[in-house]
Chain A
Amino acid sequence: QKEVEQNSGPLSVPEGAIASLNCTYSDRGSQSFFWYRQYSGKSPELIMSIYSNGDKEDGRFTAQLNKASQYVSLLIRDSQPSDSATYLCAVIPPGNAGNMLTFGGGTRLMVKP
């Protein structure tokens, strides 16, 4: 079983809609969770981090964490064509002294004008 799972997509949403991206992880003791955005041909860039159960909002982005169900999600409100990218979920598993990230395979998001 892959440690971090994401639907590869593509997820297609119309401009202005809410895009919902989901991620599940297998290691129950994980404490730190991240969403990276990667445009085609570019490097990943961090857009959200979340450490506690519940919601964390930053502009049009909301990260949601449910440790009991072992999932983390990213909501993008008022989606724009510029949000079209691959979104990578990453987790720091427990007992990880080196701050190593385990990544999911990514979900490709397409926002259509």
Chain B
Amino acid sequence: NAGVTQTPKFQVLKTGQSMTLQCAQDMNHNSMYWYRQDPGMGLRLIYYSASEGTTDKGEVPNGYNVSRLNKREFSLRLESAAPSQTSVYFCASSEIGTGVETQYFGPGTRLLVL
């Protein structure tokens, strides 16, 4: 049982390049989330998917797109990377509607945009 996995762990991009961050969970959770974490800012929600087939914007969606590929996988795409997107990206999953609202986080992807 790996929990939430993310790839890659580290990435360096040049301004304007594109990339996709991958996330998968094996806990059979319905809900998945993408956050970014910048120094002193806590975690800010980029996009979330309450269930397979649905996605919604969070607090900071500009410059990102997401795909809920299936129940297990939720990817985050940067179409044209900008230095302001340098951050640590965390994927999380949870099960809602059961009274257990714990979110489980992946190990993170550290992204540097030059």
Whether B41 pairs with A99 at a CB distance below 8 angstroms is no
Interface size (B, Cβ < 8 Å)? 23
The 10 tightest CB contacts between A and B, nearest first, are A103-B42, A43-B105, A99-B96, A98-B50, A105-B42, A103-B43, A46-B102, A44-B105, A98-B48, A43-B108
Whether A99 pairs with B42 at a CB distance below 8 angstroms is no
| Complex-state Cα separation, A88 to B102, whole angstroms | 14
Q: A49-B102, A105-B41 are in contact. Are A99 and B108 (CB under 8 A)?
A: no
Whether A44 pairs with B101 at a CB distance below 8 angstroms is no
Interface size (A, Cβ < 8 Å)? 23
From A4, A6, A46, A104, B103 is in contact (CB under 8 Å) with A46
State the Cβ distance, A106 to closest chain B Cβ, in Å.
Answer: 6
B-side residues, CB < 8 A to A, are 31, 33, 40-45, 48, 50, 56, 58, 90, 94, 96, 101-108
Whether A92 pairs with B42 at a CB distance below 8 angstroms is no
Interface SS of A by simple majority: loop
Q: Mark A70-103, 1 if CB is under 8 A from B, else 0.
A: 0000000000000000001000100001111111
Interface contacts beyond A43-B108, A99-B103: sample of 5 additional A-B pairs, CB < 8 Å, sorted by A:
A4-B42, A8-B40, A44-B90, A99-B50, A101-B45
Q: Mark A17-57, 1 if CB is under 8 A from B, else 0.
A: 00000000000000010100000001111100100000000
